[in-house]
Amino acid sequence: MDLLTFLRYQWDRAGAWLLVAAGAALLVAGWLGASRQLVPAGQIPYVISGGLGGVFLLGLAAVLWLSADLRDEWRQLQEIAAKLDADPAGERGTSPSDIPERSGRNGSAPAVAEGSVPPARP
């Protein structure tokens, strides 16, 4: 899988990593800036911009990552629902191997069975 395909399917996780990097950089920058100020009046703006701003970005990163997990789970459940609807119980025995595997945590695009819900993300 090339990088563009990966970014198209995993834009939220890639964005989460970017936000983690930006938040960490902001925290470090805030700490460096505040440590160079001699008076508290000069440090508080760094606390707000660097410290709280970094926390804000890290929170957004967590939301993006957890949302990606929830979206993957939602899509896989829809695939299961589509399989059950197309091939209901009693007409055949569904083995556990027919159930779509959970994927996405390792950075790979989720496996999509033919004829099932497409992997398109909004």
Residues that bind another protein (CB under 8 A): 40-41, 44-45, 47-49, 52-53, 55-56, 59-60, 62-63, 66-67, 70-71, 73-75, 77-78, 80-82, 84-85, 87-96, 99, 120-122
> In Å, how far from its chain's centre is CA 40?
38
Residue-wise over 48-66: b if at least 16 C-beta within 10 A, else e?
eebbebbeebbebbeebbe
Give 106 or 118: the residue with its C-beta nearer to another protein. Answer: 118
Give 5 or 67: the residue with its C-beta nearer to another protein. Answer: 67
Q: How far is the CB of 46 from another protein (least distance, A)?
A: 9
Give 28 or 55: the residue with its C-beta nearer to another protein. Answer: 55
Q: Which region holds residue 120: left if phi is over 0, alpha if psi is between -120 and 50, else beta?
A: beta
Q: How far is the CB of 55 from another protein (least distance, A)?
A: 6
Q: How far is the CB of 80 from another protein (least distance, A)?
A: 6
Count of H helices and E strands in the chain? 4, 0
Give 4 or 120: the residue with its C-beta nearer to another protein. Answer: 120
Angle at 114 between CA 113 and CA 119, to 5 degrees: 65
